[in-house]
Structure 1
Amino acid sequence: MIKNIAWEYYRSLLAVLMHGSLSAAARALDITQPTVGRHIAALEQELGVALFTRSQQGLLPTEVALALQPHAQAMAHTASLMARAAGNAGDGVAGVVRISASEVVGVEVLPPILARLRERHPALVVELVLSNRVQDLLLREADIAVRMVPPRQERLVMRKVGVIDVGLFAHRDYLARHGEPHEVADLASHALIGYDVPGPVVRSASGAWQAYARERFSLCCDSDLAQMALIRAGAGIGGCQVLLAARDSALQRVLPQALTLPLETWVTMHEDLRSSLGCREAFDALVEGLQSYTAGTLT
């Protein structure tokens, strides 16, 4: 028989799994340690299994607890979605809007756009998720996403906001020390900065970009922000958005004719969110702002 077990029991289970102790879980949940302990004990009794064993290292999860973890995470995600949906309902531009974007776009491009959005609608709360992973809007991992690959999912509202060109750049000090490559083959004698694990954008590259491949990199990192910092520090040659590099006079583009990667840029949102004033305002602000950015007029 299926039992109706209180959600707070699973919430406490997830907190203990994440934080490793009753006390740490209690601090994270802003409840008392005895309350967390009672929740775990009650959940073990309802399920008829042991969820943790005690050791010198603290509470160790059993195989049953680990098996329950993804389901508890799904419940927590659903609870968060319900809270956001309730907050976005009603009149006025208010509630929470969760926006997903890549690291570089989220740090270098979106701040002035979001600042103006919040000036117009101070009751709107923006959650900015920086990730190079394509967030699944159908599962509501985000309400709105800025993507550098064309959306393929159905039931999405989508607007193409322009094309962002990516090229290879190096600090002028690096080029003064090592010389400038004049042909793609010259890259073999340079320190190249790039990814560790290729993402969707990288996998879409072809042609001359094959010379800029993982096995040739001298410095590898999956953080685009770290790659940009390395380029700015004069560590080597790496990929950068042309519009961003134009802001720094010390960065010089190399092999512009041979190596350019145009990225279609989209703003996407689940179609069910069109009834949310907050999501619609955020969507429109992102479209307007990113169109200005791709046109080179964003300030």
Structure 2
Amino acid sequence: MPQHEISDSTKGILFATLAAALNGTIGVLSKFLMESGLTSASIAFFKSLIGFICLLIVIRGEVESTTAYLRAGVCAFFGIFILFYFETSAYHHELAANVVLTLMAFATISAFILSWIFIGDKPTPTRWLGLAICVIGLAVFLGVSRPTNLTGLIYASIAGLGYGAFSVIAKAMKLGSGLAVTRRLLLFGSIYLAFPFVSNGAISPDWSIGAWTALLTLALLPSIGGFYCTTRAIELATPAQIQLFELTEPLFAALLAVLFLNEFPGLNTYLGGALVVIGLFVSQQNFGKKYCH
């Protein structure tokens, strides 16, 4: 029987979806840590720092060039600092559901446009249609309401633009992937996130086993695992595909909320989730293969 190899594009989509699943743990674990007294700035700083320290211990003896650090520094600025700082600021002004929808929509739209400009990956009509269906699905899924504050939406938009730019810049600069790349990203992420951490009072966790276990889990799953899968996806697929499939993150977060927080979804959750899946299917029709390598 003939053997059919999985294409790089398909592998990239799988890594992007896995990254979304790993990032979906952030909500459940962060909620637990916030209830213990930590701020979002503290959580983001410590999960990056702990992730960097873990990889510093695991990876030894690898020669790293100045160029590699420069690439990681630029990418981490957009993919970690801009994303986190403006996302956190947005939550202080606008409803969480509206922030998530705005951020994810702008991340994907910016990836579409910047990919077109910088790597020649022109979006097809079916891709735009798929994105529109996904955004409508997310709006239904999240239960968004009428915006209450323009400032919050602007901050969420900037956060989304930063994350969308991250995937395109990483692709254009040939950031690479692997644990060494992830370590460099978390190094610069820790440095950048130290500023909001200090400005928000430098609140540290208590010495309870539960708090440090949650932080270690955040470091291992979304920080190390999430960035590892995302950078692998960037190598294999287009930034547009990656951002589209990372739109599934709220779906995984909702599943984890059911399992660990007993927060059971309503009809809108199922309907919105179904629309997101349909939108992803539509978006993949006639996706250009020549840009996936």
The two structures have a TM-score, normalised by structure 2, of: 0.23
Instruction: Identify, as 1 or 2, the structure richer in strand.
Output: 1
Q: Which has the higher contact order (CA 8 A, sep 6+)?
A: 2
Instruction: Identify, as 1 or 2, the structure richer in helix.
Output: 2
